Amino acid sequence: MKPNYAQTLLLLALLPAAASAPAAIPTYDFKVVHAYPHDPQAFTEGLLYRDGFLYESTGLNGKSSIRKVNLETGKVLQSKDIPPQYFGEGLTVWKDTLVGLTWQTQTGFVFDLATFEMRSQFAYPGEGWGLTQNGKELIMSDGTATLRFLDPRTFLEVRRVKVTADGIPVDQVNELEVVGDEIFANLWHTNTIARIDPANGKITGWIDLGTLFPGAGKGLNGENVMNGIAYDAEKKRLFVTGKLWPKLYEIKIVPRK
């Protein structure tokens, strides 16, 4: 799923685990603050925190859904299946709605935040991967090095930026989360989060989560990789998980010594 191996090899040369990682871009480590239960059957594609609850979208045709989840217990409190012809992808909240993408069907859905009833759908060109918002625009990734900024009323593209590391485009940008004045982006098939300046797309830091979950990439043909970033802006808590992971982690980002 989502292969682009030539550019992935280029990307791996830039990641913090590689000896050739650019010295100009700092690498950060992490500390686990708390580990919470997570549904090991959830093929996580989108994750967000809102008013004390997690909202999650899951992928795979015939298994895609949106969910409201109790953080402390991991219990699914509310869910809605996405029609089986769609592979669910990124998810964000906009006012009183949840907005979700699908992978290759060029279709997005708008759900009522309280009831999960579908309000409308919209179209976009290309693939849908990650989705977040900055209070003014929706921000979408599509598997390339491009971030698209969309009008949340019309879903039309307003602008775009290219994600780069030392001037080199970095593709496979996947799950997104606005954290303060940055965008945190999971890079597909890696255990790395890129810290991105939304004004110009430049990567300002790498967060190395390689030791967070030892089972990452070792199940479902290697697809149980890290994918899921949520931020509690009020309490400044950062949560991460992965596809089919049994745990969701609250982590603190710390400079590498």
Number of compact structural domains in the chain: 1
Reduced to 3 states, what is the DSSP secondary structure of residue 106? coil
Phi, psi of 81 (to 5 degrees): -75, 140
The C-alpha atoms of residue 115 and residue 125 are separated, in whole angstroms, by 28
Over residues 52-82, the pLDDT tens digits come to: 999 999 999 999 999 999 999 999 999 999 9
Question: Is 109 part of any domain?
Answer: yes
Put simply, whether the predicted model's pTM sits higher than 0.95 gets the answer no
pLDDT of residue 214: 80
Question: Is 18 part of any domain?
Answer: no
Question: Is 193 part of any domain?
Answer: yes
Question: Is 4 part of any domain?
Answer: no
Question: Is 150 part of any domain?
Answer: yes
Question: Is 21 part of any domain?
Answer: no
Question: Is 124 part of any domain?
Answer: yes
What residues of the chain score a pLDDT lower than 70?
1-23
pLDDT of residue 18: 39
What are the tokens at 167?
Answer: 């001037």
The range of the structural domain enclosing residue 91 comes to 36-255
Question: Is 29 part of any domain?
Answer: no
Q: Domain of 205: which CATH number?
A: 2.130.10.10
Edge-to-edge order in the sheet of strand 226-232: 173-179, 182-187, 192-196, 203-208, 27-37, 247-255, 237-242, 226-232
Over residues 126-148, the pLDDT tens digits come to: 999 999 999 999 999 999 999 99
Q: Pick from 46, 174, 158: which is nearest to 100 by CA? A: 46
